[in-house]
Structure 1
Amino acid sequence: MQRRQLLTRALASASIAALPTLGRAAPSGKPLKIGFVYSGPVSDVGWSFQHDLGRRMVEKEFGKQVETVFVESVPEGPDAERVIRQLASDGCGMVFTTSFGFMDPTVRVAADFPQVAFEHCSGYKTAANVGVYQTRFYEGAYLLGTIAGRVTKTNTLGYVAPFPIPEVIRNLDAFVLGARSVNPKVTAKVVWINSWYDPVRERDAAQALINQGVDTLYQNTDSPAIVQLAESKGLYAFGQDSDMSRFGPRAHLTGNVLNWGVYYVHKVRQKLAGQWKPEDTKWGMKEGIVQLAPFSKQLPRDVAEQVEKQRAAIVAGQFHPFTGPVKDQAGKQRLAAGQTLPESELWTMKWYVDGIVGQQP
């Protein structure tokens, strides 16, 4: 059983006598208590680690106006509801729940604490006091794909995936679209491990892909095990969520990095000003929440320059990774030339693009 730890960072000595009312600023002199719920350990060097960096940005930005607490390694089941409920009961006026599987528990708890502002990451269910936020992570995944398509020698890419939810499939599809945009011969193989963070499974999955001829690895999981394996095998890899270059200085070409702090500071500022409201927020490279890790010296200059041009086009709104022509795995045309995938389909994506080998679980 994973160890759970509750760590409180108190930034003011005064205790919270009353919860702040939803939509109003906290009483003068009373810090806003904010809770964060993580699916993995903050030491994962991935998803939860990046969320915790965002929490620390909130502390730095607002100082004594806030008090933050977090709970790590919370399973996406009954334990999640108990943890979320406890944070609300303990005086949190704002709670961020940071994984898809926390969606229903968040909504249930929110109904019992209408004065608390809840923010859920990666979900789609909102309520009067529940907002949701996601990232356009697929923008970075597409750019990584363009690199993979240029550096692969076997034309076979590998993807280690956690759960078959739209967020993960969307990133996989974008990665393959990017790769095939520069190298139509590329195919991609996938191994699903049914876990966000499991270094042993992640490494085993990557090894299985290598055994099938994969020479360039990407992941939607949280540990650096895949980058470390690629380093030991003389292959290439891309980190996910945070900069994992120190775990594979030669293997790690760049990575898809999330800066959650820009969003957390934005929403906490709203709350402190009495202007918070539930929203469905989807930020990407333009807003600075999706970033790329520094390019490796192994990356050819012309490849790096092309990636920078495409990144600039994405930021400027001049290019969208899901722009046709796009076919699915069965050969059906999903997007005609010049057509962009509608938002409603983008966020509910459950189909593979052409070039992915194997079936979904």
Structure 2
Amino acid sequence: MKITALLASAAMALGLASAAVADDKTKVGFVYVGPVGDGGWTYEHDQGRLAVEEAFGDKVETVYVESVAEGPDSERVMTQMALEGADLIFTTSFGYMDPTINVAKKFPNVKFEHATGYKRADNVSTYSARFYEGRAVQGTIAGHMTKSNVIGYIGSFPIPEVIRGINAAYIHAKKVNPDVEFKIVWAFTWFDPAKEADAAKVLIEQGADVILQHTDSTAPQAAAQAAGNVVTFGQASDMAEYGPFPRVSSIIDNWAPYYIARTKAVMDGTWTSVDTWDGIAPGMVGIGEISDAVPAEVKAEALALKEAIASGEYHPFTGPLKKQDGSDWLAAGAVADDGTLAGMNFFVEGLTGDIPQ
């Protein structure tokens, strides 16, 4: 009996020790708007999650839920993560903004990080990348590569992030090709391969021989490949499987360093609510390899622009620039301030069509 009791005590002690080790782990949750296999936006966020696991090993536990609709569904998922012991939760889509704030109020001891939004709280940080810097580089290549002078752009939702991207691409395409015209199709989705493919096909039918996208799947790449002589650019991820043509370069979102740093801050107790907006220079925005389908002189020009942006020598929104209605926006040499860029709700002069409300 004494031996049995001793074994039982030892087993209980071992169980308590195991529980203590488990409790010492920092639990990090990720809420994704698309599937991890989308080949774009969510794929790159999940690469960041895997980097956290690699960086901290058994000191962390990561969990994720994919394909979470923006709105009430996301609030339910975040709440469940918090109830299940998450110490830090990354919510990785603009439409998660209000749900993140709502859930954070109920769980003041949980830290939240919201991607691409602007609402913060004591336990809510915001973070985004200056994707428009990459769009300027893409626009430069696109302006040179088009033969029809029609560039198509697949917009997801008419939010400042997407409007900035359209404007930056257009400004720089126009700089190298004054005859260029942009046609925009709004898909009203982040990830829907069928809708994205249809949008690409519509733009190609309208004469576009270059397609830019602010949606997350590789469906536009496939549609361009099927059409033949249509240039594309990878979005959020390299999408290199469609290179060297139609995909001639890409914007790559590199979230790993940020995710590692913020997880470490929770671990060591230094986490505070911050707003982070990084671009090419810190490496949050990468430019994927420019393929040999792009003429050498165009590649050199694009890479020089990338370096000028990274060094701070050049800003993609530098005047003189007017708004679409012809009113003055930036005087010669003036640079757009972050406040205007963060809330951008207008097209620049030369773009046609209205921004949906």
TM-score, length-normalised on structure 2?
Answer: 0.92
Question: Structure 2: where are the runs of 5+ without partners?
Answer: 1-15
Measure the CA separation in 2 of the matches of 1:316 and 1:62.
32
Question: Please, which of 336, 344, 347 is the counterpart of residue 342 of structure 2?
Answer: 347
* Structure 2 equivalent of residue 315 of structure 1: 310
Is 2:297 aligned against 1:306? no
Question: Structure 1: where are the runs of 5+ without partners?
Answer: 1-12, 18-26
Is 2:135 aligned against 1:137? no
Deviation at 1:249, TM superposition (A): 3.5
Contact 1:160 1:192 in 2 (8 A): yes
| Structure 1 residues 336 and 70: CA distance shift in structure 2, 3 A | same
Contact 1:16 1:91 in 2 (8 A): no
Contact 1:81 1:106 in 2 (8 A): yes
Question: Please, which of 239, 244, 250 is the counterpart of residue 245 of structure 2?
Answer: 250
User: Could you say what secondary structure the match of 2:232 adopts?
Assistant: strand
* Structure 1 equivalent of residue 105 of structure 2: 111
What amino acid maps onto 1:358 in structure 2?
A: G
* Structure 2 equivalent of residue 41 of structure 1: 35
Contact 1:149 1:183 in 2 (8 A): yes
* Structure 1 equivalent of residue 50 of structure 2: 56
Question: Please, which of 119, 132, 135 is the counterpart of residue 125 of structure 1?
Answer: 119
Contact 2:252 2:286 in 1 (8 A): yes
Question: Would you tell me which structure has more helix in proportion to its own residues?
Answer: 2
Is 2:175 aligned against 1:181? yes
TM-score, length-normalised on structure 1?
Answer: 0.91
| Structure 1 residues 15 and 203: CA distance shift in structure 2, 3 A | farther
Percent identity of paired positions between Structure 1 and Structure 2: 47
Deviation at 1:253, TM superposition (A): 0.8
Contact 1:33 1:68 in 2 (8 A): yes
Measure the CA separation in 2 of the matches of 1:217 and 1:92.
40
Alignment of 1:11-90 (within 5 A): 30-90=24-84
* Structure 2 equivalent of residue 337 of structure 1: 332
Measure the CA separation in 1 of the matches of 2:17 and 2:350.
58
Greater C-alpha radius of gyration? 2
The runs of at least 4 consecutive aligned structure 1 residues that moved more than 2 Å come to 13-17
Measure the CA separation in 2 of the matches of 1:354 and 1:204.
28
Measure the CA separation in 2 of the matches of 1:86 and 1:355.
47
What amino acid maps onto 2:299 in structure 1?
A: A
- 1:133-186 per-residue CA deviation (whole Å, 9 max, x = no partner) reads 011010000100000011111111100011100011111111111111111211
Question: Please, which of 214, 218, 221 is the counterpart of residue 224 of structure 1?
Answer: 218
Aligned positions, number: 340
Deviation at 1:355, TM superposition (A): 2.5
- 1:220-243 per-residue CA deviation (whole Å, 9 max, x = no partner) reads 000111111112222101110001
Deviation at 1:272, TM superposition (A): 1.4
RMSD after superposition: 1.6
| Structure 1 residues 73 and 331: CA distance shift in structure 2, 3 A | same
Contact 1:231 1:248 in 2 (8 A): no
- 1:46-67 per-residue CA deviation (whole Å, 9 max, x = no partner) reads 1110000000011111111111
Measure the CA separation in 2 of the matches of 1:31 and 1:124.
30
Deviation at 1:266, TM superposition (A): 1.4
Question: Please, which of 256, 275, 279 is the counterpart of residue 274 of structure 2?
Answer: 279
Measure the CA separation in 1 of the matches of 2:183 and 2:350.
9
Contact 2:244 2:292 in 1 (8 A): no
Q: Which piece of structure 1 moves more, 265-274 or 218-227?
A: 265-274
User: Could you say what secondary structure the match of 1:44 adopts?
Assistant: coil
User: Could you say what secondary structure the match of 2:89 adopts?
Assistant: strand
Measure the CA separation in 2 of the matches of 1:14 and 1:109.
32
- 1:237-289 per-residue CA deviation (whole Å, 9 max, x = no partner) reads 11100011213532111011101111111111211121100101101111111
* Structure 1 equivalent of residue 185 of structure 2: 191
Measure the CA separation in 2 of the matches of 1:16 and 1:88.
19
